[in-house]
Amino acid sequence: MNKIKNIGVFTSGGDSPGMNAAIRAITRTGLHYGINVTGIMRGYEGMIAGEFIPLTRKAVTNIIQRGGTILKTARSEAFMTPEGRKAAYEQLKKNNIDALVAIGGEGSFTGANVFSREYDIPIIGLPGTIDNDLIGTDFTIGYDTAINTVINAVDKIRDTAESHDRLFIVEVMGRDSGLIALRSGIGTGAEGILIPELRTDLDALYKHLEEGPQDQTSKIIIVAEGDEFGSMEVTEMIKERFPHFDIRLSILGHIQRGGKPTAMDRVLASRLGIAAVEALLNGKKNMMVGLINNNIHHTPFHNAIKHLSEADPNLLKVVDILSN
C-alpha cells in the first residue's frame, strides 16, 4: 500500500454514460486513502503527450449526473506501437504516477494488458462501454442508460407508427454485440429483433409479419448495426416482400451514447470506482473489476476482453413467447 502514491485515471475508446461517476468515485476513494489522483486527458493519446491534470475533490464535484467524460477520450494509433507505449511510460514516470485505472472497453483493456506486462505498471480496468459485451461483469457502465435511451426513443416511434399504421425498422448500436437490441427490443415489445449473435432467419421474420395479429396496425423491428444484413438491406427486403406495408427506417445513432446516466449506472460506476482503487492498494493488477451477482469480481484482462459470443437463451425465450 505504501508503494502507490499517485494513481492516474483515464477514459478510452467510446464514451459511455457513467464514466464521470466512475472518475468521481476513483478520485474520492484515492483521497480517502491519502493518495493523489491524476486525470489523464484523451486516453492513451493524452498519456503519450503528457496531458495530465490534478483531480481534487472540488474537480469532481457535480459531475456524477453528467454524461460523456470530463477527461475526454480518443483512440490512439501511436499507443499500438512500442515507441508510443515507451513515450507514455516515460510521461508517467516523469509525473510520478505509480498506477493506472483505465475506464473503457475491449480495445482499452487490450492496450492496458500489453502496457502493464511491458512496463510492470499496475493497471485496473473499469468496464465502461454501452455494449455490455465484456466477460467478468453482469453489466457494464453505460449499458443501462443506453437501453433506456433506446426504449424512450422507440416508445416515441411507436406513437407515430400507430398513428400512421406503419412498420418501423429501428437500428440500434451493437457492431459485434446485440445486447442493446435484445433488451431494448423486449422492453419496447418489438415484433422482431435481429442481432449479430444469431443467423438472421428472414423466412421466419416474413412468416411472423404475415401471421401476426391482424388488428395490430403498427410494428417495430429492432436491428443491431452488426446484423448480417444490416438495417437498410432488411428494410429494402421487407418492402419488396410486403409492398402494401408503409415502412420507415430510423437509425438512432449516437444519442445512445449520451445523456444523464441512470441511477443504476451511477451506482455501478461508484461501486466499481471504489473497488478499482482498493484492488490496486491490495496489490492486484492487470485485471478488470466487475459486478457479478451483485458482488465485486476481478477478471484478468486477457479473459475480460473476450467477446460474449452467445445470446442469453433465457432472453431469447422471452422474445419468442412475447413477440407472437
Active site residues: 131
81 grid coordinates:
506501437
How far is Cα of residue 4 from the mean position of the Cα atoms in its chain? 29
CA distance 112 to 12: 10
Using an 8 Å Cβ cutoff, are 64 and 24 in contact?
Answer: yes
**310 torsion bin: left (phi>0), alpha (psi -120 to 50), beta (else):** beta
Retrieve residue 279's grid coordinates: 484492488
Rounded CA-CA distance 221/208 in Å is 11
105/103 Cα distance (integer angstroms): 7
**Residue 103 one-letter amino acid:** I
The DSSP call for residue 291 is: E
Q: In this structure, are strands 36-40 and 52-54 parallel, antiparallel, or unpaired? A: antiparallel
